[in-house]
Amino acid sequence: MDLQTLGVGADSALDNVSREVRAVARFRDPERCTWQRLRVALLRAAEALRLATGQSAPPIQVDPILPLRKIAPLPRYFSSNDSPEAVLVSSGTGFFIRLRPGLSECRCRWSKAHELAHTFFYDLTKCPPERVLTRGLSIKEEGLCNDFAAELLMPLGLVTGEAARLQEMSLWAYLHAVRREYGVSTETAARRLLRVQTRFRFAAAVFLDATRAPSRAWWGAGLQSPRARERAVVKRVQYALQHKKLEELDLVRKEENGLASVWWKGGEFGGHYAAAALIDFSRSRSAVAPPIRQAIQP
C-alpha cells in the first residue's frame, strides 16, 4: 500500500509534520522540548487531509481520510468493553484501528480522528510502519492528537463562522445545534466552543463521564477566566454532577438567577451515567453598574 500523492500543498503539509516529529525525536528528552512547531504543522495537516478529500462543510467524514494515512478502512474490535476506547496497531504495510465495542457513532468518529494523528509519529516508509519517537506514548503526544481530532472534526474556520447564523439561540441550544451539525459528542463540542468561540467567552461547562474510573466531573471555562463568584457557581455544579445531587442544580439555578443561566442534562448512555451542564455568565458580565452620581444621591 503506497501513500497516495495528494497534490503539492497537501503533500508538503504532511511532510512538514514528519520533519517536525523527527526534529522532536532528535532531542535526548523529547518531553522537555517545545512541541509548538509540531502542533502548528499537525493542525495544518488536519486541514490539508480534509480538503484533499473534498470536504468543506460539516459533518467531516473521517473514513475517506483513513487510507491516506495507510489505515485499513474497517476497524477491528476489542473483545470486552473494559478496553481502551481505541488503539492504533501497526501491521503489515500499514495500520488498523481497534475500537472498544459499543461506542457511540460520535465517539467512533472522535477515536478514528485521534488515531489518525498518531500515524504522524510513525515512519510510514517502513513495513510495518515504525515509531519515530521510540519512548512510546506521552501526555504531550496524546494532547496533540486530541488537538488534531478537534481541528479535523470541528475546523476552526468553520466553527467560528457559525456565530452569526446561530446568534438568536441560548448557549445550550447553540451547543446542541453545533454538536448535531458536526457529528460530535456534547463534550467534544463544548471543549471546542469554549476555546474558540467568542459567544462562549463568559461560559463554563461541567461534564461527568462515568466511563472513566474513577468517574470525575471536569470543567472548562471560556476565553475569559471566571471570577471568584462565578468559580464558586462552577464548583457547586461540579459537586452536584459528581455526586448526582440533581436537586442541588435546581437550587443553583434559583439562587444564582441574575448571575448565571444554568442548563444541565444527565442519563444512562451505553450502560454508563454521563451528565453535562453549561453555565452562561454573560448576563452578569453585561449588567451595567449604576452611574456613580446616581448612587451617591441622598
Phi/psi for 93 (5° steps) reads -100, 0
Q: What is the largest CA-CA distance in the chain?
A: 84
Question: Please, what is the minimum distance in Å from the beta carbon of residue 118 to Zn ion?
Answer: 6
In the complex, least distance from residue 88 CB atom to Zn ion, rounded to whole angstroms = 8
Nearer to Zn ion, 112 or 176 (CB): 112
Q: Which C-beta is closer to Zn ion: that of 114 or that of 176?
A: 114
Question: How many angstroms separate the CA atoms of 278 and 195, rounded?
Answer: 14
Give the per-residue contact string, 122-151, with Zn ion (x = CB under 5 A; - = no): --------------------x--x------
145 vs 278, which CB is nearer to Zn ion? 145
CA-CA distances (angstroms) from residue 118 to 23, 37, 67, 112, 149? 16, 16, 14, 10, 10
Residues 144-183 that bind Zn ion (CB under 5 A): 145
CA distance linking residue 238 with residue 160, whole number of Å: 28
- In the complex with Zn ion, which residue's Cβ is closer, 85 or 256? 85
Tally of helices (H runs) and strands (E runs) in the chain: 11, 9
Number of residues forming the site for Zn ion (CB under 5 A): 2
Nearer to Zn ion (CB atom), residue 31 or residue 142? 142
- In which residue are the cell numbers 471536569 written? 218
| Least distance between Zn ion and beta carbon 135 (Å) | 14
- Which residues are near Zn ion by CB under 5 A? 142, 145
